[in-house]
Structure 1
Amino acid sequence: MSVLEKLFNPAARGSTVKREMLAGLTSFMAMCYLIFVVPSMLADAGMPKDSAVASTIWVTIIATLVMGVWAKFPVGVAPGLGITAFFAYYVCGPAGYSWQTGLGAVFISGIVFLLLTVTRIRQLIINAVPMDLKFAIVVGIGAFIAFIGMKSCGIVAADPATFVTLGNLGNPQTLLSVVGIFLIGGLMALRVRGAMIIGILVITVAGIVLGVTPLPQGQIFSTSLPMPTETFMQMDIKGALHHGLISIIFTLTMVDLFDNMGVLIGLSQKAGFIREDGHIENLDKALITDSMATMASAALGATTATSYLESAAGVAEGGRTGLTAVTIAFLFFLALFFSPLVGMVPAYATAPVLIIVGAMMMQEVGRISFKDFTVALPAFLTIISMPLTFNIATGFGFGFVSWVGIKALSGRFKDLNIVMLCIAICFVINFALRLP
């Protein structure tokens, strides 16, 4: 028995070392775009670009490694896209705060996450979520993932009259994505192992051969280890407290709490971590990991770290243990030296994976009790609002508030608990803070 088999015991979860590593590679290929997207937004917030790149990758490496070795979840952790956009284009934009003060707010929110975790309030919240709503969260995330995939490859596009419409299917990138959907779907139907990574590599190579994706120019290998020297320990905690960024800290906390919670529930369901009683194995360690990761992220110079939706690609490929996460972390470490090569994997090559994973997560819809309208309406609002508002946490809010509201109005008070009521009130407050 190899060292990796002793450490992670993949056989106990019906997996193998090879399959776990392949799953990690698949998740990495689906996640690697963040190396370019997140630092770009951080640079728009005023951060030095090179340090933003280094801090983003180092946060991902450290947090994902801990998630794999300690929490043993097959999930990648990195600075979140939505929260980074909020940080760059609101906190450091219209709100008028410096990126140092913004990082101070991120660090404080990480402390709040940790306190909520060690006091088991976060676990209490997750365990209080009804199973029907948990299934709806999985389905909603699947719809969200598929929508992201369709948007990134151009299958759907923005439209001023109808908001979204059919994209330009004559676009070479969109056509390659459509081919990728059928290629990966066909391979999966034939039960070919590594179908997703095969599809990503084939479409990437096809794009290069056809001239759709250019080869990287200039130096493709860095001989020195990139470090976030200009952003390390630059967070201004005192400034964040002095300016009273209560609403911003509250928003950071709420979004990450329920965004991360939604991803963990969704991926845990697909990976077989949810027991029959609804409890999730190793959840405490996973939540502590992302809490500590957020504080480390602020210290290094990046935004709130969260479990990544794209990890669903690796879970769908068979990832069931922390070895998947360790593989992701190792590949991101290599990416520090080969970032130009990582950039060769275009969005249109990973988009088919997101769409197919979304379809797989949609299977849980059959487990929702739609015949009970007090379940059907909250479940529907949870599912539909995630892709339409482009926000997992908002979908959570609609689901929780409507669940409590319709159960109370129909006199079904036995289906409610104090935790659900408190969560619904928190979301109402959060929505109120967004009012002009």
Structure 2
Amino acid sequence: MLERCFKLQAEGTTISRECLAGLTTFAAMAYIIVVNPLILSDGTGMDHAGLITVTALAAALGCFIMATLTNLPIAQAPGMGLNSYFASVVVVGMGVPWEGALAMVFWNGLIFFALSVSGVRGAIIKSLPSCLQIGIQCGIGFFIAFIGLKNAEIIVSNPFTLVSEGDILKAAPLMALGGLLIMSALTVKKIPGAIIATVLLLSVAGLFIPSGDGTITATPEGFFGLPPSIGQTFLALDWLYPFRHWETALPVIATLLILDLFDSLGTIVALGRQSGMMNDKGEMPKLNRALTADALATVCGSLLGTSTTTAYIESATGIEAGGRTGLTSVVVGCCFLLALFFTPILTAVPAAATAPALIMVGLFMAQGLKHIDYGNLLEVAPAILTALLIPLSFSITHGIMAGIIFYCGLMLLTGRGKEVSLGAWIIAAVFVGFAFI
């Protein structure tokens, strides 16, 4: 049955490899069960306990939808950054009731669905030149590696230099660096499950390594618990709020469209390039289906009671572990459902244990730089600029925005504007307008 559903042999994979890849992806993104409820409930009035269940259900549904529509090893969950915009800017900052904000997410998802089914979203990515697609892939790689270094406190903020090295002689950074060495060695030796095995090893070791008032890995308060109710948020949308308050809702929905569009496009294409899903023409055959799954996940998530659900770049950890089909996504979804009953254990896994996985995958994705024609500044400059600005701006969307505007401007000033596709010019114009919103 699994062979018929996921075509495992045709993709050169096995059930055990797909399951291992799913566990690896889940280990890298399980933090969202804890972080998303904290962000959404802060000052909004939304029930924190119920949001734990909502987050897990939205992630599971998103993974199942992606697997069904695309048979790709891409996991979905409520998006970071998008949840902060929802809670901090829309609800707290603008004073929009959370029920009305959920309605904006819902209508945004429907618009995305229409754009995806019609092929408009796919046409957008085809308009981007290959140098920018490479820059996006590598930039996202740098981004998640930077997040891993930050989570492990290897890199910390600095008021004079913005960032600097942390105290690497502390327990957590040392454990993360040791884990990265172990993970790298196991990967070089092609040991199956190198990433998830290292995460588990570090989590257990952290129980015995002192840090602050306790140990790096906190002792779980329990092992089993029933999921909290989602009664407060389930189908609680104020469906017509965007129509009653269109002057407020219109710019919010437009912003959500821009942020979600290019976050999901950048993530899915970067994962496609990394895993070899692209064809000989540099196109991703299942791109429109993947974007449709992304849109449907957003609609379902809003009905449950969470902000925009989107594809997760942490899926790259499972792809590196060998995941090639939707079975990987199904395993991730099942893990999210099981996690509802074992939340105390998952919340005990320290950031220092998952940080090496993020750093390792970031290094893998940065290998895309080898495809740039370094003898052609018209390719090098936009690609490197995009790759640098994605992590430095802490935003995939803003990095792409700067890259496409710079590329079009450079081509125009060098007398090669006719070589730029119409779609690229339109995207650049939209981004210029978006910058003034």
- Same fold judged by TM-score > 0.5? yes
Residue of structure 1 in register with 2:223 after alignment = 220
Structure 1's consecutive aligned runs of 4 or more residues displaced over 6 angstroms after TM superposition are none
Shift, 1:132, TM fit: 1.6
CA distance in 2, matches of 1:225, 1:91: 28
Shift, 1:226, TM fit: 4.1
CA distance in 2, matches of 1:117, 1:70: 13
Normalised TM-score (structure 2) = 0.96
CA deviation digits over 1:119-145, x for unaligned, max 9?
211011112221221111110010001
CA deviation digits over 1:269-316, x for unaligned, max 9?
112111111221222221111111111111110000110011110011
Residue of structure 2 in register with 1:417 after alignment = 421
The 8 Å contact of residues 180 and 203 in structure 1, kept in 2 or not, is answered as yes
The 8 Å contact of residues 127 and 278 in structure 1, kept in 2 or not, is answered as no
Residue of structure 2 in register with 1:7 after alignment = 5
Residue of structure 2 in register with 1:233 after alignment = 235
Shift, 1:361, TM fit: 0.6
Give 1:281's aligned amino acid: P
The 8 Å contact of residues 54 and 227 in structure 1, kept in 2 or not, is answered as yes
The 8 Å contact of residues 32 and 342 in structure 1, kept in 2 or not, is answered as yes
Q: Indicate whether 1:152 and 2:151 are aligned.
A: yes
**For structure 1, which segment, 129-138 or 75-84, has the greater mean C-alpha deviation from structure 2 after superposition?**
129-138
Q: Indicate whether 1:247 and 2:246 are aligned.
A: no
Give 1:429's aligned amino acid: G
The residue matched to 2:340 in structure 1 has which SS? helix
Residue of structure 2 in register with 1:97 after alignment = 96
Give 1:214's aligned amino acid: A
The residue matched to 1:10 in structure 2 has which SS? coil
The residue matched to 1:306 in structure 2 has which SS? strand
The 8 Å contact of residues 139 and 364 in structure 1, kept in 2 or not, is answered as yes
The residue matched to 1:213 in structure 2 has which SS? coil
The residue matched to 2:73 in structure 1 has which SS? coil
Matches within 5 A, 1:361-372: 361-372=365-376
Give 1:296's aligned amino acid: C
The residue matched to 1:333 in structure 2 has which SS? helix
CA distance in 2, matches of 1:40, 1:302: 12
CA deviation digits over 1:15-72, x for unaligned, max 9?
2111111000000000100000001101113210112111111000111011112211
CA distance in 2, matches of 1:85, 1:208: 32
**What value does the CA root-mean-square deviation take over the aligned residues?**
1.2
Residue of structure 2 in register with 1:430 after alignment = 434
The residue matched to 2:114 in structure 1 has which SS? helix
The residue matched to 2:77 in structure 1 has which SS? strand
Shift, 1:401, TM fit: 0.8
Give 1:172's aligned amino acid: A
The 8 Å contact of residues 157 and 166 in structure 1, kept in 2 or not, is answered as yes
The 8 Å contact of residues 59 and 297 in structure 1, kept in 2 or not, is answered as yes
Residue of structure 1 in register with 2:189 after alignment = 190
The 8 Å contact of residues 138 and 265 in structure 1, kept in 2 or not, is answered as yes
CA distance in 2, matches of 1:148, 1:240: 35
CA distance in 1, matches of 2:374, 2:383: 8
CA distance in 2, matches of 1:179, 1:430: 43
Unaligned runs of 5+ residues in structure 2 are 210-214
Shift, 1:209, TM fit: 2.1
> Percentage identity across aligned positions?
36
CA deviation digits over 1:398-427, x for unaligned, max 9?
111111111111111232111111111111
CA distance in 1, matches of 2:319, 2:189: 18
Normalised TM-score (structure 1) = 0.96
CA distance in 2, matches of 1:32, 1:202: 17
The 8 Å contact of residues 216 and 350 in structure 2, kept in 1 or not, is answered as no
Unaligned runs of 5+ residues in structure 1 are none
